[in-house]
Amino acid sequence: MKTNLIYVFADQWRYHAIGYTKADQVLTPNMDRFAEESLCFENAYSTFPLCTPHRGSLMTGKYPYSIGLWTNCKIGLEEKIMLKPQETCIGNVLQNAGYRTAYIGKWHLDASEQNFTKHPVSGAEHWDAYTPPGERRQGFEYWLSYGACDDHLNPHYWADSPEQIRPGKWSAEYETDKALEYLEGREKDTPFALFLSYNPPHLPYELVPDCYYEKFRDLKIEWRANVPEEKRTAEMERIARQYFSAIYGIDEQFGRILSYLKEKGMEENTLVVLSADHGEMLGSHGLMSKNVWYEESIHIPLLMRQKNRIQAGRNGVVFASPDHMPTLLELLGLQVPDTCEGRSHAVSALGGTEDSPQHMFLCSYPGSPESVSAFAKQGMNHKAHGWRGIKTPEYTYVISNGYMPEEKQEEYFYDDKEDPWQLHPRRVERDCKDEVIMECRKLLKWYLGMLGDDFLWEKDRG
């Protein structure tokens, strides 16, 4: 019998917001017990800390730029952003290998329907999309999903018709209900792969059930050292409590999955992965949300468990977004397609010594309609701007060209061991000859060349 796969990931959930890291003031008893039984990858990062780009990398094992996902699937852009059905995705490989495949929850990889019609039959609005049966589901047979909608307390889904399903229940709870229903109704002698994508703790932060918020209602927030005083307001405390509450709720739902596997004796033949697509700043450096190069934005949880096969512990390998697909396939004993650009860390996951460079590529591209339009009006390529960087366990290196044409180029180096809060970056001059900086530049140019990335290296300096 082949190993089954359950891959659970939450949206905008940072590495620090799980109890075993002893960082944020979260309550995650189920995840903490899971961590004790799992291999925890301590250096897992989102290559492009934004929903669609990371998800595209997860599904294809390729870098976001390689698959045309340089921003979220959205409306308002001349180029229609979507994961093209011609890509070889993990669902396709699993299905071809005889797995029954399922996807439940947020997808955000299909083109927004209002790009094409003002009033879609499905009722999808703004960035949302119904993905009909067929090649755009990328090999997933069972489907209960939506494109992008953040109404956590009153979610909607589509299965195999454009009629919306509205359960009237907190999204993470309903999705777990359906996941357990799928697991119970599956063909017991056929391997399965289930991807379960929770939208919380993604904003709106306040859309969390009261039963979870009650645990945090009076919590005195202990701010991270890089949250400036002006951000430490009563409103921000409320948001932090709501964020932690949603994670507490997700922990409860994840616990239901774990209980089912234990009850059914499936812990040894099921690889369970727990992760996220990117983090949340939550006031650090005066910022909210994601899509910046700081630790709170790019650092994500990544835990893997298969009892009596994967030894529990901590693993320091640098794990990038495109590395998920090849690693998972190799752990399942399946051939990794030549299309994958990421590295497999299966040898390391199974306790072996990995001959792999301890660095990864970071990136972000201007993606708002206003920004893209501003570059176009000046005859400039917006994809040559944004920021690119290199991440290692010791440092973060970034060159930023900004998100608007008039912004100057900045080059930064963060010593993440000596300055873990990233409060004192070194501002690098163009004529710098420091050996570490020179090596960072060399690595970054290698990645840009490998990807055919048009990043403008010689932009005017700030």
pLDDT one-digit tens code per residue, 34-46: 999 999 999 999 9
Residue with tokens 């209002």: 114
Residue 170 in this model has a pLDDT that exceeds 90: yes
Give every CB contact of residue 219 below 8 A, 6+ residues apart in sequence.
Answer: 25, 241, 244
> What does the block give as tokens for 415?
């010593």
Alpha-carbon 5 to chain mean position: 18
∠65-122-149 over CA atoms, to 5°?
Answer: 55
Contact 39, 313 (CB under 8 A): yes
What order of strands is seen across the sheet that includes strand 100-106?
A: 142-146, 100-106, 192-198, 4-10, 270-276, 302-305, 39-44, 313-319
Q: Which CA distances in Å does 316 have to 13, 35, 356, 359?
A: 20, 15, 12, 11
Instruction: Please provide the distance, in angstroms rounded to a whole number, between the alpha carbons at the two ends of the chain.
Output: 59
> Confidence band (pLDDT; 50, 70, 90) for 329?
very high
> What does the block give as tokens for 140?
């997933």
3-class secondary structure, 26? coil
> What does the block give as tokens for 352?
């072996």
Residue 357 in this model has a pLDDT that exceeds 90: no
The pLDDT mean for the chain works out to 97
What pLDDT, on the 0 to 100 scale, is given for residue 212?
A: 98
- Residues 276-294: pLDDT tens digits? 999 999 999 999 999 999 9
CB atoms within 10 A of CB 353: 7
> What does the block give as tokens for 187?
């063909």
d(CA 17, CA 22): 8
What pLDDT, on the 0 to 100 scale, is given for residue 405?
A: 97
> For residue 8, what is the enclosing H or E element?
strand 4-10
d(CA 158, CA 147): 9
What pLDDT, on the 0 to 100 scale, is given for residue 209?
A: 98
Contact 300, 15 (CB under 8 A): yes
H-assigned helices in 264-312:
295-298
Residue 462 in this model has a pLDDT that exceeds 80: no
